[in-house]
Structure 1
Amino acid sequence: MPHDQIVQPGDLVPAAEMAARNTGRVLNESDEYRRARQALLAEEIELRRHIERVAELRRHLPPGGVVAKNYAFESEMGPVDFASLFGDHQTLVVYSYMYGPQRKRPCPMCTSMMSAWDGEARDVEQRVALAMIARSPIERLWAFKQERGWKALKLYSDVSGDFTRDYVSAEDADIPALNVFTRRDGVIRHFWGDEMGETADPGQDPRGAPDPMPLWTILDLTPEGRGTDWYPSLEYR
């Protein structure tokens, strides 16, 4: 269950001890499997706790930089400004995806994640606003939304590129970005961004933690893992 309760490490049962309490068994498993699974369970408990600690640190970041410009976008319903993307919320999550004017088709990776998010968007928007921004004209964004069957995602075109240059790439490069903004007492500030560009470990693509793509979370549960020579496609036959 979701919660924002602060838990001190000293208040927690050691992960190995908690794992040892597990009485679950799988049909026909060997003793060797159970020993390895119990050790893995302890690590999974530690991972869950670390994710919680990181989320707590994120929530307690000091105030970020003030957003000095009221950026202009094109929406499916016409022109909008940055402040209006918040709607009735005080927090705004913005995903900048790779579909610049130079692209014939949008990025398959961005598309895969957005397709998953489309199913969660109405749930997310019970608490925060959610906006998908790209540099292509709104007509192209809307057409692909219809092709993909997205129902809930709100798409916006950064026609001028001002927002993209300030919060994604100063060179207006066609790269993705995830940013969170807050509006408190009428002041809009940047809260958090995924600063993962130069942080990839050897043999891995740049990615944050936790990974916002459900696809990878599912594949990480399997013996095949993510693989090294496969990415999502825009269409399958």
Structure 2
Amino acid sequence: MDIASSGSHPVISREEWLKQRRTLLALEKEETRLRDKVRAARQALPWVKVDKEYLFDTPTGRRPLADLFDGRSQLMIYHFMFGPDWDAGCPGCSFMSDHMDGALPHLNNHDVTYVAVSRAPLDKIEAYKKRMGWRFPWVSSYGSDFNFDFHVSFTPEELAGETIRYNFTDIPREMGHDELPGLSAFYKNAAGEVFHTYSSYARGGEELCATLMILDRAPLGRNETSTLSFVKRHDEYEEKPQGSSCCH
């Protein structure tokens, strides 16, 4: 067995590589079957009727949650970290959002509306959205309980305690922030009733990021020192000469 001159990774014969690759393939198939099982359990999850009224500032005026469906029966809301006093949106949420515009026509054709929601005022949202060049709908929940009720925003009183409630459990306050990310799903029936069907937090939305899925298959993987440590807003990366390496 040789060691690659570019690092400490083993270099082996094609025959031995195929043997190990088939072993990995069996594990990947197991992962796929488990993902199918999780998906089925997710679809079978009971729903909760949303009786509380939530209002959002949109480019066409103040609208209730039911209006965000935009004529479709399913609504996916991305809880985008952008607080009222922030100057820009969260880099990690921005990274995720870079993947959404191309998905919009496919989601819409499948009776699904996608909307980002933040507590930042609408004018800040609109300015940042223009800077990033995004097209997906993005509204403000400023002045609403929506973010707090879905446990992605936290009051000063909550942040003063020892723990906060996030990702369906109590986590140490120091692991939290005044804003945190998440994804929530809703359904509206023919009578106009709205139901909360699913929410996911923390790393639960990673599969929405195609970049991560590609990096997971690249030779050096994510090459991160902590979760998403390599991520910047897409207009903040230093341009690198073609063919240069990001690793030294």
For normalisation by structure 1, the TM-score amounts to 0.78
Give the % identical residues. 29
Q: Unaligned regions of 5+ residues in structure 2, if any?
A: 1-11, 156-177, 239-248
1:146 corresponds to which of 119, 130, 140: 130
- Rounded to whole Å, the distance in 2 between the matches of 1:212 and 1:147 is 22
Partner of 1:41, secondary structure, is helix
- Contact 1:109 1:231 survives alignment (8 Å): no
- Contact 2:79 2:152 survives alignment (8 Å): no
Identify if the C-alpha distance between structure 1 residues 111 and 170 changes in structure 2 by more than 3 Å, giving closer, same or farther: closer
- Rounded to whole Å, the distance in 2 between the matches of 1:105 and 1:143 is 9
Q: Which runs of 4+ in 1 moved over 6 A?
A: none
Identify if the C-alpha distance between structure 1 residues 217 and 50 changes in structure 2 by more than 3 Å, giving closer, same or farther: same
Q: Unaligned regions of 5+ residues in structure 1, if any?
A: 1-27, 197-205
- Rounded to whole Å, the distance in 2 between the matches of 1:208 and 1:35 is 32
- Aligned residue number for residue 168 of structure 1: 151
Deviations 1:21-55 (A, max 9, x none): xxxxxxx9611000011111111111112111111
Q: Spell out the pairing of 1:157-236 with structure 2 (5 A cutoff).
A: 157-169=140-152, 171-172=154-155, 173-184=178-189, 185-194=191-200, 196=201, 206-208=202-204, 211-229=207-225, 230-234=229-233, 235-236=236-237
- Contact 2:55 2:144 survives alignment (8 Å): no
Q: Spell out the pairing of 1:1-237 with structure 2 (5 A cutoff).
A: 30-62=14-46, 64-127=47-110, 128-151=112-135, 153-169=136-152, 171-172=154-155, 173-184=178-189, 185-194=191-200, 196=201, 206-208=202-204, 211-229=207-225, 230-234=229-233, 235-237=236-238
Displacement of 1:181 after TM fit? 0.9
- Rounded to whole Å, the distance in 2 between the matches of 1:226 and 1:210 is 12
Partner of 2:204, secondary structure, is coil
Displacement of 1:231 after TM fit? 2.7
Displacement of 1:209 after TM fit? 6.7
Displacement of 1:170 after TM fit? 6.2
- Contact 1:133 1:155 survives alignment (8 Å): yes
Name the structure where strand makes up a greater proportion of residues.
Answer: 2
For normalisation by structure 2, the TM-score amounts to 0.74
- Rounded to whole Å, the distance in 1 between the matches of 2:205 and 2:55 is 31
CA RMSD of aligned residues (A): 1.9
- Count residues in correspondence: 198
- Contact 1:70 1:83 survives alignment (8 Å): no
